[in-house]
Amino acid sequence: MKTHKTSYSILDLALVSQNHTLKQTYANVLHLAQQAESFGYKRYWLAEHHNSTNIGSTATSILIGYVAQGTTKITIGSGGIMLPNHSPLIVAEQFGTLATLYPNRIDLGLGRAPGTDRETAEAIRSDFMEAAHAFPNMVGQIQQYFSVDNATSKVRATVAEGVSVPIYILGSSTDSAHLASKKGLPYAFASHFATSHLWDALEIYRSKFHPSAVLQNPYVIVGLNIIIADTDEEAERLFTSLISMIVGLFTGKRQAVQPPTDMTDDYREILKNPQVHQMLKYTFVGSKNTVKPKIKEFMDQTKADEFIAVSNIYDINDRIKSYKYFAQIMDELSN
């Protein structure tokens, strides 16, 4: 019997597949969001990344508006805005505008990493390291800009004051767990790639949580990778595209998402590499019957309030099917 209800959502990087244009990629993003809405997903987040040929979610707030315009009820947000790259005032204005256009449908997830390499981070903002250290204060500034009390301040984000935009703290280590607990904000951990500190971060966040005006109890979102197909063999085949992406990440040879191939001994050897194995620790590959008990176990272990799933698959139809099967699994586990 299920003892803990877990919602389910999507994290999308607007992956650019080989032989696909950016325009096709963005059309696929919207199509996936529309399908996710029909499957019962809670939210659809877009991540901020820069200087990567296989990721199209660079102008994140613009893409959020595009997806919100093409959907009707699913919550759309950032997973996240890398706050040290930006002025808190501008972020508040952008998301205040989005939430005015799409009321009660916009989330603001905030992270402190650059979402790119060092050189690009410095090109975005020459004082990035100083801004990263100021992340807690910058979060506080954004909260202030959204507050009705800011109406008496000399610097105002007038389109944001009093507008409802839930703020989430994102993390891949334990630092942001401390911040989220201190501020009484919901916390999303990027365990779809940063697996080492998941359990410590959850323990810190839950044990040190201070209730706030926006949240009385801890709320945890946990990231995971899913590649679900009709058969285990087909899922493993689709998995090869993600493995190639990881190899490119480690070797510095990033390229568009490659078409899947047969799962060979070479790919299996790559999966045994300690770094690759650690990064993909919370990756669930297989048919529904294969994946379901593993997801149930992960659910019981994390006691997550919500899973946010990443399905890095080359073809949009295979990706949609993977998310459809994941939604079915989560619904079945809720009954």
1-14: buried (b, 16+ CB within 10 Å) or exposed (e) per residue?
A: eeeeebbbbbbbbb
**Would the pLDDT of 77 be above 60?**
yes
pLDDT at 1: 36
Q: Which of 81, 85, 115 is nearest to 98 (CA)?
A: 81
DSSP element (H, E) containing 227: strand 220-229
Both structure tokens of 201: 């971060």
Q: Which residue has the higher pLDDT, 9 or 251?
A: 9
Provide the mean pLDDT of the chain.
95
Confidence of residue 171 (pLDDT cuts 50, 70, 90): very high
Q: What percent of the chain clears pLDDT 90, i.e. is strictly above it?
A: 89
DSSP E strands, 84-193:
106-111, 167-171, 187-189
Q: Give the pLDDT band of residue 2 (cuts 50, 70, 90).
A: very low
Domains of the chain: 7-334 (3.20.20.30)
At 183 the pLDDT is: 98
Task: Let me know the angle formed at the C-alpha of 59 by 43 and 169, rounded to the nearest 5 degrees.
Answer: 45
| pLDDT at position 273 over 50 | yes
The pLDDT value recorded for residue 259 is 97
Measured CA to CA in angstroms, residue 31 lies from 131, 226, 241, 255, 328 at distances of 36, 19, 21, 23, 19
Specify the DSSP element, H or E, that contains 10. strand 7-12
Tell me how far apart the alpha carbons of residues 22 and 57 are, in angstroms, rounded to a whole number.
Answer: 10
Q: How far apart are CA 107 and CA 23, in angstroms?
A: 24
Contact, 10 vs 306, CB < 8 A?
A: no
Q: Stretch 302-321: mean pLDDT, rounded? A: 97
Q: Mean pLDDT lowest for which of 125-134, 209-218, 234-243, 281-290?
A: 125-134
Closest CA to 330 of 310, 304, 307: 307
pTM, full prediction = 0.96
Dump pLDDT digits (tens) for 179-209: 999 999 999 999 999 999 999 999 999 999 9
8 Å CB contact between 228 and 314: no
- Token pair 């810190």 in the structure block, residue: 204
C-alpha span between 313 and 305 (Å, rounded): 25
Q: Which residues pair with 43 in a beta bridge?
A: 75
Phi and psi dihedrals of 327, rounded to 5?
A: -60, -40
> What phi and psi values does residue 308 have, to the nearest 5 degrees?
-120, 115
Segment 82-139, tens digit of pLDDT? 999 999 999 999 999 999 999 999 999 999 988 888 888 888 888 878 888 999 999 9
Sequence-distant (6+) residues with CB within 8 A of 175 are 112
303-328 average pLDDT score = 98
Distance CA 93, CA 109 (A): 15
Position with higher pLDDT, 2 vs 166: 166
Four-CA torsion 247, 132, 146, 123, nearest 10 degrees: -70
The partner residues of 105 in beta bridges, in order of sequence, read none
The answer to which of 115-124, 226-235, 294-303 has the lowest mean pLDDT is 115-124
Strand partners for 239: none
